[in-house]
Amino acid sequence: MNDERRTVAHGQVESLDTRHIRADFPILAQQVNGKRVVFLDSAASSQKPIQVLQAMDDVYRCAYANVHRGVYAFSEAATARYDQAREKVARFIGAPSAEQIVFTRNATEALNLLAYSYGRHFLRPGDEILITELEHHANFVPWQVLAQERGLTLRFIPITPEGQLDLDQLDELLTPRTKLVSFAHVSNVLGTITDPRPIIQRARAVGAAVIVDGSQSVPHMPVNVSQMDCDFLVFSGHKMLGPTGIGVLYGKRELLEAMPPFLTGGDMISAVGFDGPRWNEVPLKFEAGTPAFVEAIGLGAAVDYLSALGMEAVRTHEREITAYALERVSEVPGAKIIGPTDPQIRGGVVTFTLDRIHPHDLASLLDGEGVAIRAGHHCAQPLHIRLGLNATARASFYIYNERRDVDALIEALYKAKSVLKR
């Protein structure tokens, strides 16, 4: 970004300058089916700015060598940049130290690491795990498998008709047997923003550890793990302008030190003899083998980009465009918005159905207009079952989206209705 903030003064709050931001994303200069690209699927995976692409390209071209393994210049340079990326991530989420940042492939792997390493080590038959009806499969299936294997009970915080968590039932659901609580900070389907503080405070009262899935919050709003006081936080790099293949597990140091490793092999040991291994210190204990260090450096560049924008400005922009999208989609005859309709408690996601048009058909027709949305159950099938729906359409927004993208979506919805005579 050449140290230039892509924000403009707007009253007391800086707004994103989307014209300059879009220029940083080469893919958005293309056309799809002869149409301007309207990318509305960032909740699945975001696009990448040239600054991230260049940072990774520079490593491969000019400073590539395996990290932690060489005393020559290339290896030392790559190791330094890898360590810097960890420090950037720690600062970005308010972690007390970089050693509490474990690099994983994605949030899914981070949650599986916790199920395997924390869950299998600390949970006993009869213990209870509490999650919510809003969860992505990544924060659902690992706990189902663990519960079946270990004789645990899996319980669920229900949702209200408005799509928010029914926290009035929390005191009944939290018992002395509850040993772990795991929930999404922001729903990837409904966009519901959950205040983590009351859940964490009440979980603490019964002695339960808390995992927060920040996959849909860390890329879109300020998140500070020290203020939140969660035990663990997970998120993926590819949803926040970074590359695929890199994710983050933040954990409190004492818990990470008490947990056994997830994978074993090179680099996660301090020594190996014929009588057995000794584990490395955290976070290296959880990073077996050659790490995705180029991807981590790319994530560090993404963190730089978002930090320069300011996460308050990012959140303000998304709240404004989401409010506009909620208004415009509600005007379309036959459209039904799923989830909260208040943009103050909703992330940059608008999920909806359109009468008598299957979401998959709708997404295909919109693609013909250059508009990319998601269709299906969005890896949250239990939530769709709870809602009585087989599938939904989802438009999700990020820093490069503008009001004209919403207008293009609405125009495409009307055209789809016309084509299908609905």
Q: Which residues are catalytic?
A: 379
3-state secondary structure 170-202: HHHHCCCCEEEEEEECECCCCCEECCHHHHHHH
With b for 16 or more beta-carbon neighbours within 10 A and e for fewer, the 64-100 pattern comes to ebebbeeeeeebebbbebbbebbbbbbebbebeebbb
Per the structure block, which two tokens stand in for 211? 């995992």
User: Can you tell me the distance from the alpha carbon of 210 to that of 213, in angstroms, rounded to the nearest whole number?
Assistant: 10
Q: For residue 164, what are the contacts with CB-CB under 8 A and spacing of at least 6?
A: 192, 194, 340, 345
- Burial label for 189, CB within 10 Å (0-12, 13-18, 19+), is buried
| Amino acid identity for residue 85 in this structure | A
